[in-house]
């Protein structure tokens, strides 16, 4: 699959994921790949969902940092494993509210969560409230976000956000 950096709102050249030999292309992009997403600065973006009745944005702000535990879906756990210190994300209230309400920063990479299975957790801290929440309805109404993981795989509690999606969500948040 050949992509250009312009596909991600970046300036630069062709970003071929696989070369003719099936390996990494020598025509490397001016950014690095993690999973299906290109990151200009090497950092990735995420959405972390929580039922506000169980753990809300206000709870995180009050505590100052928390361990993001209890994720028991293999795809969502894989996203936790992909997180690196310094990555950013949106704290998303699921349930009735269905809106991104704040920004978080990953402060510790994945470690084992519990004794059963191969589950992991990460540490997060608040990085600022959004000026205005970005609702799921507003996200679905924006055609440029139609392929966003939050829309396509709405049941996942942790999902990636591309640089282009992050930029647009930031504009929507005011």
pLDDT at 52 over 70: yes
Which of these, 66, 38, 71, lies nearest to 167 by C-alpha position?
A: 38
**Separation between Cα atoms, residue 144 and residue 148, nearest integer Å:** 8
Mean pLDDT computed over 26-49: 58
* Whole-number percent of the chain with pLDDT over 90: 72
Alpha-carbon distances, residue 76 vs 55, 79, 111, 142, 155 (angstroms): 18, 5, 14, 24, 10
Mean pLDDT computed over 28-36: 40
Q: What is the pLDDT of residue 41?
A: 53
**Separation between Cα atoms, residue 103 and residue 132, nearest integer Å:** 12
Q: What is the pLDDT of residue 33?
A: 40
Query: Which domains are present in the chain?
Result: 1-30 (no CATH), 39-172 (3.10.590.10)
Q: Rounded mean pLDDT of the chain?
A: 83
């Amino acid at each position: 699959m050949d992509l250009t950096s312009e596909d991600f709102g970046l300036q630069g050249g062709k970003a071929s994921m696989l070369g003719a030999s099936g390996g990494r292309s020598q025509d490397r992009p001016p950014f690095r790949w993690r999973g299906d997403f290109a990151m200009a600065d090497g950092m990735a973006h995420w959405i972390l969902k929580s039922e506000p009745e169980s753990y809300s944005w206000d709870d995180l702000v009050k505590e100052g940092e928390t361990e993001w535990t209890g994720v028991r879906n293999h795809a969502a756990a894989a996203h936790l494993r992909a997180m690196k210190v310094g990555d950013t994300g949106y704290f998303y209230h699921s349930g009735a509210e269905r809106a991104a309400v704040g920004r978080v920063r990953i402060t510790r990479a994945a470690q084992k969560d519990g004794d059963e299975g191969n589950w992991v957790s990460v540490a997060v801290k608040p990085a600022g409230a959004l000026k205005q929440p970005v609702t799921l309805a507003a996200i679905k109404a924006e055609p440029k976000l139609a392929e966003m993981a939050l829309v396509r795989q709405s049941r996942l509690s942790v999902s990636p956000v591309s640089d282009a999606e992050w930029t647009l969500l930031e504009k929507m948040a005011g």
